[in-house]
Amino acid sequence: MNFADFKTASQHASAQDILTRLIATLEQDQQYGAWFEALKLQARFDLGLEPWSVGSVEALSADVQRQLEDRLVEACRVVGERMIAAGRIAEGWMYLRPVGDAARALELLRGLEAKDEYADQIIEVALGYGVAPAWGFELLLGRMGTCNAITAFDTQMVNAALPERQQAAALLVRHLYTELLKNVRHHGLKQSTGTEPVLESKVAELDLIQWLERVPDLTANQNYHTDPSHLSSVVRIGRIVDDPEPQRLAWQLCGYGRQLDELFQPQGYAVFDPYYDAHQSYYEVLLSSESSPAGLDFFRQRRAELTQAAEQPTALSWEGQIEATDVLVELLMRRRQYSDAIKVLMDQLQVCGEHQRSRWTALLFRCCQMDGGFEPLLQYSQQLGDAFGFGLATFYQKYEAKP
């Protein structure tokens, strides 16, 4: 601001003109915080209120409160958009956030995506502040690599919506698979010397499992081709994915993990033990078109084993039993085998503690709803003397049977 010019111009100007000039000057000078405050002044002035006031707005009429709020939200939008466009992305989002227009924020961020200098701020807003978690995760994965992406998934993605987390998990599976296949291919070509030659035209067509079959000693002598901790984490994270393509890639990652030396086999998992064998069974269940794939038998047996172990209760034995039930019910529900899931839940409700009952009952309700009949919930509620559960099931029987 040129203070002398501003003072001279203001001598014969009205209060409104001074305020207009102040707003224009602060905008031109990119003094964004002060610009926002001046816009607030103008909003109150235009509405006939005390321009500079920190008092409560509760005494104002509902109509004036609404008009003032609309003006302040608009000020947030204008200043926030301008700050993001100027590269002050994280600060700009703080202004734009009250507007609630995540789509507009994403549009602005994508306009800056090509500029490397803004990458960290874009990731912070897209992923850290939840504007576009999956896209932010993709940027982080490409910029910072697998290790940082795994940490971000387990921390920053935890509150994202399931579709966003599924997208991020699929990205991570594809990324690690591509990286691992490249390393295995390079090693495999060197190891193939003296054996059946691999035609150059066929090299790109071989997948991870085919390379392991062609060159069986790739993982001999404690050899590995990607960080084993990254492999185990990505196999775990990939379980939430619904897309068959990355599921198949995750299944192959498990096949690779099974061949690693015992030193690199994750330990201490009650349900997923052996780690890669169990995870491969998990993915086989998701991918199978059979009515009762072998993987389901594996997890039924694991639940039976852990339920028996929990008869001599310890904190760990109950934790394992609960996880085994969770995994089995999740698989059955994902396969839309709701009647089978209901049987497992009814059994679980007979052995679970009081503090677990509401969660299993909620799952039972969901399965009954998807299966088209609430008789199991009626039976259970009557047996337990649960008036609410019985009434809820009765209500939904009638509600969902309406013409």
Query: Is a pLDDT exceeding 90 seen at residue 316?
Result: no
The arithmetic mean of pLDDT across residues 109-124, rounded, is: 87
Query: Is a pLDDT exceeding 90 seen at residue 341?
Result: yes
Bigger pLDDT: 399 vs 378: 378
Instruction: State residue 197's pLDDT score.
Output: 54
From the list 22, 20, 28, the residue with the least C-alpha distance to 5 is 22
Query: Is a pLDDT exceeding 80 seen at residue 194?
Result: no
Instruction: State residue 220's pLDDT score.
Output: 93
Instruction: State residue 84's pLDDT score.
Output: 93
What whole-number distance in Å separates Cα of residue 284 and Cα of residue 294?
8
Instruction: State residue 313's pLDDT score.
Output: 66
- Which pLDDT band, with edges at 50, 70 and 90, does 322 fall under? very high
The string of pLDDT tens digits covering residues 246-276 is 999 999 999 999 999 999 999 989 999 999 9
Query: Is a pLDDT exceeding 80 seen at residue 163?
Result: yes
- Tokens read off for 234: 């990505």
Instruction: State residue 399's pLDDT score.
Output: 84
Which pTM value belongs to this model? 0.85
Instruction: State residue 22's pLDDT score.
Output: 87
Q: Percent of the chain beyond pLDDT 90?
A: 60
The arithmetic mean of pLDDT across residues 87-113, rounded, is: 89
Instruction: State residue 403's pLDDT score.
Output: 58
Q: Percent of the chain beyond pLDDT 70?
A: 94
List the domains of the chain with CATH numbers.
Answer: 1-126 (no CATH), 160-287 (no CATH), 294-403 (1.25.40)
